[in-house]
């Protein structure tokens, strides 16, 4: 569920419109990260302020949503989900909260800034955060950024490339469902689309934390891989260029094992590929592609190796007979 859903739950809670299941959902979401907790605290504070004006205003919340939707960063979705009309105070909060949350800057309160941005399938977005950092958001991803009390907290669902503005007194923390990555100023990619979280570092240093594990420090050219299903945590030195292929549209291989090449191709194109190597020797591959189609890369592999390629109903199969 996306962040807008929980914002709606908060407004319903303040209006005494939540059922028990929704209360549990909201409590679990708030407890999952500091950024979520602070977001709720800010909305509660806004609610208290809105109550001061409820006797003076009448607001049509449905029209308010439509007006707000035209001002939000595209392709952000905003969907009201309450079951009955809101109180005037809740309607005021609805307008205030959405304009405040989705605005890149808050001129009146620069110390308390927040953003929520989402992308849909096939869409990417470059976002400048209130602290000057840049986030390149991959498709079907969401960020929730809160800058408050000299702390920079961002919750990520999906994948994003970060270029963080240096601030030694204000660490930048990326929260996912299963991990926390802390930096001062650096460039790194976080992929948290499933039970597996991967962080690839390009510049600077980052600290990667998961529950009940020692902190992993990354240097440029290193990647950490955490599988929450079995607790496996690994750090390795890799060619990080391909970690942001979704942004650069480039794939670069330098004497890489074919099994690793196939895995990267799978991720980049969203394919399922079964690799069957009949030969005993490991096949290596060197090559680069820019804006290449899936079929073009497969054709290059066919030319490079003695292989068969089959397109199956639920995926593809590559059978390597010899490396050549």
pLDDT tens-digit profile of 100-158? 444 443 444 344 567 888 888 889 999 999 888 999 999 989 999 988 777 899 999 99
pLDDT tens-digit profile of 209-263? 998 898 999 988 899 999 999 999 999 887 668 888 888 899 999 888 899 899 8
Percent of all residues in the chain with a pLDDT value above 70, rounded to a whole number = 76
Residue count of the chain: 324
Residue with tokens 């529950």: 211
The domain limits of the chain are 1-102, 117-243, 249-322
Architecture of domain 117-243: Sandwich (2.60)
Calpha distance 11→118 (Å, rounded): 20
Single out the residue of 17, 141, 27, 143 nearest to residue 81, CA to CA.
Answer: 17
> Where in 139-184 does DSSP place strands (E)?
142-148, 151-163, 172-175, 180-183
User: Under a CB-based contact definition with an 8 Å cutoff, are residues 57 and 88 in contact?
Assistant: yes
Whether 67 has a pLDDT exceeding 80, the answer reads no
pLDDT of residue 300: 93
Mean pLDDT score of the chain: 79
CATH number attached to the domain at 249-322: 3.55.50.30
Calpha distance 286→11 (Å, rounded): 55
Residue with tokens 């976080």: 190
User: Under a CB-based contact definition with an 8 Å cutoff, are residues 64 and 94 in contact?
Assistant: yes
Calpha distance 11→43 (Å, rounded): 8
Q: What is the DSSP string of 99-142?
A: HHHS-S--SS-TTEEEEEEE--TT--EEEE-TTS-EEEEPTT-E
Count of other CB atoms within 10 angstroms of residue 230:
8
């Amino acid at each position: 569920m996306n962040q807008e859903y929980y914002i709606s739950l908060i407004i319903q809670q303040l209006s005494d419109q939540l059922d028990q299941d929704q209360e549990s959902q909201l409590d679990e979401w708030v407890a999952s990260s500091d950024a979520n907790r602070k977001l709720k605290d800010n909305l509660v504070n806004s609610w208290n302020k809105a109550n001061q004006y409820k006797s003076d205003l009448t607001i049509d919340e449905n029209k308010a949503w439509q007006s707000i939707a035209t001002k939000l960063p595209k392709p952000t979705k905003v969907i009201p989900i309450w079951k009955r009309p809101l109180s005037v105070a809740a309607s005021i909060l609805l307008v205030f909260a959405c304009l405040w949350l989705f605005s890149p800057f808050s001129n009146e309160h620069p110390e308390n800034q927040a953003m929520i941005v989402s992308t849909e399938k096939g869409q990417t977005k470059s976002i400048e955060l209130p602290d000057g950092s840049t986030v390149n958001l991959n498709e079907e991803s969401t960020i929730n950024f809160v800058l408050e009390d000299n702390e920079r907290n961002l919750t990520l669902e999906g994948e994003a490339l970060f270029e963080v503005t240096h601030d030694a007194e204000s660490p930048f923390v990326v929260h996912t469902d299963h991990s926390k990555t802390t930096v001062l100023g650096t460039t790194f990619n976080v992929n948290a689309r499933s039970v597996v979280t991967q962080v690839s570092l390009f510049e600077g240093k980052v600290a990667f934390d998961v529950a009940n594990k020692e902190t992993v420090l990354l240097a440029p050219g290193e990647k950490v891989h955490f599988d929450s299903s079995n607790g496996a945590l690994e750090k390795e030195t890799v060619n990080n260029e391909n970690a942001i292929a979704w942004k650069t549209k480039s794939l670069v291989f330098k004497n890489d094992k074919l099994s690793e090449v196939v895995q990267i191709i799978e991720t980049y194109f969203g394919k399922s590929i079964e690799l069957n190597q009949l030969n005993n020797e490991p096949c290596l591959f060197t090559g680069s592609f820019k804006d290449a189609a899936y079929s073009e890369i497969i054709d290059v592999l066919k030319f490079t190796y003695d292989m068969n390629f089959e397109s199956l109903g639920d995926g593809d199969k590559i059978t390597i007979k010899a490396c050549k």
